[in-house]
Structure 1
Amino acid sequence: MDQILEIAIAVGPAIVVGVIAYYFFDSFLKNEEGRRRFLLHKESQKDVLPVRLQAYERLTLFLERINPNQLLIRVKPVTEDKKAYVDLLAATIEQEFEHNLTQQIYISSEGWGAVKSAKNTLIQQLRKAAAKSEITTAQQLREHILQNPDGQENPSRVALEYLKTEVQELFN
Structure 2
Amino acid sequence: MNVQYFLTQVAIQAAGGTLMVVASWYLLKNDFLRYFFQRPVEPAKDDKAPLLQLRLQAHERMIVFVERLNPANLFIRVYEQGIPAAELQARILNEVRTEYQHNVSQQLYINAESWNVLRKLKEDTIAMINNAIGTLPPDASGKDLSRLVLEHVAGIAENPYDLTVELIKQDIHQLF
TM value normalised by structure 2: 0.68
* 1:97 paired residue among 90, 97, 100: 100
- SS state of the match for residue 62, structure 2? helix
Q: Which runs of 4+ in 1 moved over 6 A?
A: none
Partners of 1:41 and 1:83 in 2: CA distance: 56
Q: Determine if contact 1:121/1:155 at 8 Å carries over to the other structure.
A: no
Aligned equivalent of 2:170:
165
Shift of 1:79: 5.8
- Which is greater in Rg? 2
Equivalenced residues, count? 136
Distance 2:55 2:111 in 1: 10
Question: What is the distance in 2 between the residues matched to 1:146 and 1:82?
Answer: 14
Greater CA drift, 146-155 or 61-70: 146-155
2:133 matched to which residue of 1? Answer: 130
Runs of at least 5 residues in structure 1 that lack an aligned partner in the other structure: 1-31
- 8 Å contact from structure 1 (residues 119, 155) kept in 2: no
1:131 partner SS: helix
User: Structure 1-normalised TM-score?
Assistant: 0.69
Give the whole-Å Cα distance in 2 for the aligned partners of 1:51 and 1:157.
23
Report what 2:120 is aligned to. Answer: 117
Question: Structure 1 residues 42, 71: CA separation in 2 closer, same or farther (over 3 Å shift)?
Answer: same
- Over the aligned positions, Cα root-mean-square deviation in angstroms equals 2.4
SS in 2 for 1:40: coil
Equivalent residue, structure 2, for 1:5: none
